[in-house]
Amino acid sequence: MTSTADAFARTREEGRAALVGYLPAGFPDVAGSIEAMRTMVDSGCDVIEVGLPYSDPVMDGPTIQAAAQRALEGGIRTRDVLRTVEAVAATGTPTVVMTYWNPVERYGVERFAADLAGAGGAGLITPDLTPDSGEEWIAAADSHDLDKIFLVAPSSTDERLRYTADACRGFVYATAVMGVTGARTSTSDLAGPLVARTRAVTDLPVGVGLGVSSGEQAAEVAAFADAVIVGSAFVRALLDAEDRSAGLKALAVLTEDLASGVRRG
Amino acid sequence: MSTTPTLDEPDVNGPDERGRFGDFGGRFMPEALMAALDELTAAWHEAMADEAFTAEFQRMLREYAGVPSLLYDATKLSERAGARILLKREDLNHTGAHKIRNVLGQALLTKRMGKTRMIAETGAGQHGVATATAAAYLGLDCTVYMGELDTERQALNVARMQLLGAEVIPVSSGSRTLKDAINEAIRDWVASVDRTAYCFGTAAGPHPFPAMVRDFCRGIGDEARAQCLELTGALPDSVVACVGGGSNAIGLFTAFLQDESVDVFGFEAGGDGVDTERHAATIWAGEVGVLHGARTYVLQDEDGQTVESHSISAGLDYPGVGPQHAHLAHIGRATYRPVTDTAAMDAMALLARTEGIIPAIESAHAVAGAMELARERPGSTILVNLSGRGDKDMGTAIEWFGLGQASSDGTPEPATEEQIAEGAK
Ligand SMILES: Cc1ncc(COP(=O)(O)O)c(C=O)c1O
């Protein structure tokens, strides 16, 4: 397993931000999502986030909802998500899972941690689990040497920022806007201050997500963050493409644009 | 024994500081909402300790909502049942259900917090109509999220909300029903939390909603307990309510939880039957999981994906349940059983014809449950929460019973599709 710490050590050495790319597993189908994520790796993503599609994704906007729904309609299972992680992690690029909490609890927290580690996964991003409710996950992650990536938000108090960052391993995920996932045309002016406040309480890398869709925005965010996290724009590239090979091409072009963005920042 | 407990009287069954009822409840929510939930919790605690707030809440209930509702001795139904059945007439409240208590409480709190907008989810439209009503009454902006399927099935309630000045937004994601409307309302709230309060419609969701909604609804049981003592000179042997998310039920139960002699029963929507996949009997058939911010019983598949629920009654058609009910079931203080669509509709007709009261189909589940208990416990006293009136359910009744057109020999005939559509307009 390659850890996110390795990726951040490298990008720090190169004096740039990391590019973290998200796609839901099983979209358009399991094999298709693996191929898409490998394309993102080949075109310049430093870390891959594999989304576990869930029936009630309260933090996601219409684009990711639509992709997750397609994956669920296609019959995606939790074990398929782990299979996807295995295939992507095999590239040597650190691979984390992004999931709402109930599927993990249902799978069994300890069993999930063991199987994720077994698949070569580097850790978990938990959008609806905060450290307050995370004892079981934190214990399981620690015993399997997995990253625990909790979210901070512009509305987080300084006290909660410290509390959350203290519970993180790998990096801290800063949600740059008050709102759900979805590409936005301008970057949020809440992101910079949030990163600064987070940096004040932790030495961990701080990644910024929610809204980035172009190399130009990536460069803006890379100027103040350790990682630029992109999701909806990748999903959109696949959704808008006429067929699969066009989708992969669009994905490669977008990744390259974003990858050059994080190097300009 | 005090018969009029104050609103802020602590309840032995929780929640604890983290919003947990035993192993249930808590707060599984995005970090972006944690500050808002903390702010809400603090504001609610302060308000409940503020006599001016509770007095104003009681005044609104009394002067605007028609509370306290009657406790009605249903002698004709009792004769049929073989047990004494008392009906807590929440159907007589303004807007026709217990829900007005919760929304007036939350709307008043919204104003106190200096917010200017309320959002809500709604299934059949009852909570949406109640929220739109409270928003109109207190001068707040109001947006209601409603599953697209439900907006089509409940056009009349969409119109009521619109007439009250609310904006109704159809939700086309997921199963396009109540749970998806909740998801969409949460998404709105994340983006608008500065000026917006989420007026949650039942005693479920993340802390503090289960406890806060309970406290706003607990007048049902506080009143009923005193009314029952006055009417019969004793406590009831059992108290009965239908359970969707659980607000009318916990509103009734709370006053009786410490009364050891009183048995507590919740009736869930059994739909086509709990041996089929088409039901909403969450406690009966669900397994412990996390949905909409709380650990509770959830209808879910092997992978933890929420399964769609089914009930003839939109207000009970929810795949989760309030965490305090999960706890009460777990510790055995309350018993939860399913009632099928058919049994509920039979009870609706029975109550209409014996007592001249047309109940909401939700409440008809409680009446059906009471009839079942009466057979098991003849001669006992059963206090039933008649949580709402049935006007909103006439479309369903027309189809189910074949009503709506009179023929020359007096037998009812089903209304035509066109007539139903005309009525909905
Ligand atoms: C009349 C009535 N009773 C009961 C319910 C179920 O909700 P709860 O379980 O929160 O009381 C509803 C919901 O719409 C309702 O309208």
Q: pLDDT (tens digit, 9 = 90+) per residue, B178-218?
A: 999 999 999 999 889 899 999 999 999 999 999 999 999 99
In sequence order, the 6+-apart residues with CB closer than 8 A to the CB of B356 are none
Rounded to whole angstroms, the Cα distance separating A201 from B145 reads: 38
ipTM: 0.95
Chain-chain contact of B173 with A65 (C-beta, under 8 angstroms):
yes
- Sequence-distant (≥ 6) Cβ neighbours of residue B276 within 8 angstroms: none
Select the residue of A65, A128, A157 nearest B29 (Cβ to Cβ): A128
The two most distant CA atoms of chain A are separated, in Å, by 48
In the residue annotation, B121 being an active-site residue is answered as yes
**Which of the following is catalytic: A14, A42, A46, A49?**
A49
Domains in chain A, number? 1
Which residues of B fall within a CB distance of 8 Å from A148?
A: none
The whole domain housing A166 covers 4-264
Catalytic residue among A6, A14, A46, A60: A60
B190 touching A (Cβ < 8 Å) = yes
Q: Is residue B102 classed exposed, middle or buried when 0-12, 13-18 and 19+ CB atoms within 10 A define those classes?
A: buried
Give the range among B12-16, B87-91, B199-203 with minimum mean pLDDT.
B12-16
Which residue in chain B has the smallest CA separation from A70?
B174
Task: Give the binding-site residues of ligand 1, using a 6 Å CB cut-off.
Answer: B 97, 123-124, 126-127, 202, 242-249, 315-316, 360, 362-363, 387-388
What are the chain A neighbours of B187 within 8 Å (beta carbons)? Answer: 58-59, 61, 179-180
Nearest Cα to Cα of residue B126 among B423, B363, B418, B365: B363
**Average pLDDT of chain B, as a whole number:** 93
Cα(B246) to centroid of ligand 1, in Å?
7
* A133 and A163 Cβ atoms separated by less than 8 Å: no
Residue B99 known to be catalytic: yes
If you average pLDDT over every residue of chain A, what do you get?
95
- What Å distances lie between residue B59 and B55, B56, B64, CA to CA? 6, 5, 8
pLDDT at A265: 77
Q: Which residues contact B411 (CB under 8 A, 6 or more apart)?
A: none
Please list, in sequence order, all residues whose beta carbon lies within 8 angstroms of the beta carbon of residue B230, skipping any fewer than 6 positions away.
none
Give B121-138 pLDDT, tens digit per residue: 998 899 999 999 999 999
Look at residue B36 in the predicted model and tell me its pLDDT: 94
**Cβ–Cβ < 8 Å for A85, A121:** yes
Partner A contacted by B42 (CB < 8 A): no
Contact B328, B334 (CB under 8 A): yes
Cα dihedral B204, B209, B212, B213, rounded to 10, equals -40
CATH number assigned to the domain comprising residue A220: 3.20.20.70
Which residue of A77, A178, A188, A194 is the best one to mutate when testing the B interface, meaning the one whose CB has the most B CBs within 10 A?
A: A178
Strand partners, A20: A47, A229
The reply to whether B174 touches chain A by the CB within 8 Å rule is yes
User: How large a percentage of chain A has pLDDT more than 90?
Assistant: 90
Helix, strand or coil for residue B425? coil
CA of B361 to the centre of ligand 1 (A): 9
Q: Which helix (H) or strand (E) holds B217?
A: helix B209-217
CB within 8 Å: B18 and A106 = no
Q: What is the CATH number of domain B71-95+218-398?
A: 3.40.50.1100
Give B130 to chain A, closest Cα distance, Å: 24
Shared fold status for B20-65+98-213 and B71-95+218-398: yes
**Chain B residues with CB-CB distance to A155 below 8 A:** 31-36, 193
Report which ligand 1 atom has the smallest distance to the Cα of B127: 14
Query: Does residue B231 surpass a pLDDT of 80?
Result: yes
Atom number of ligand 1 nearest to Cα B97: 1
Select the residue of A55, A59, A177 nearest B305 (Cβ to Cβ).
A55
SS (H, E, C) A39-62: HHHHCCCCEEEEECCCCCCCCCCH
Cβ contacts of B76 within 8 Å, gap of 6 or more = B354, B355
Tell whether the model's pLDDT for residue A26 goes beyond 70.
Answer: yes
Q: Label residues B272-306 b or e (16+ Cβ within 10 Å = b).
A: eebeeeebbbbbbbbeebbbbbbbbbbbbeebbbb
CATH assignment, B20-65+98-213: 3.40.50.1100
The domain segmentation of chain B, as residue ranges, is 20-65+98-213, 71-95+218-398
pLDDT at residue B37 in the model? 96
CB pairs under 8 A between A and B: 113
Residues B235-273 have pLDDT tens digits of: 999 999 999 999 999 999 999 999 999 999 999 999 999
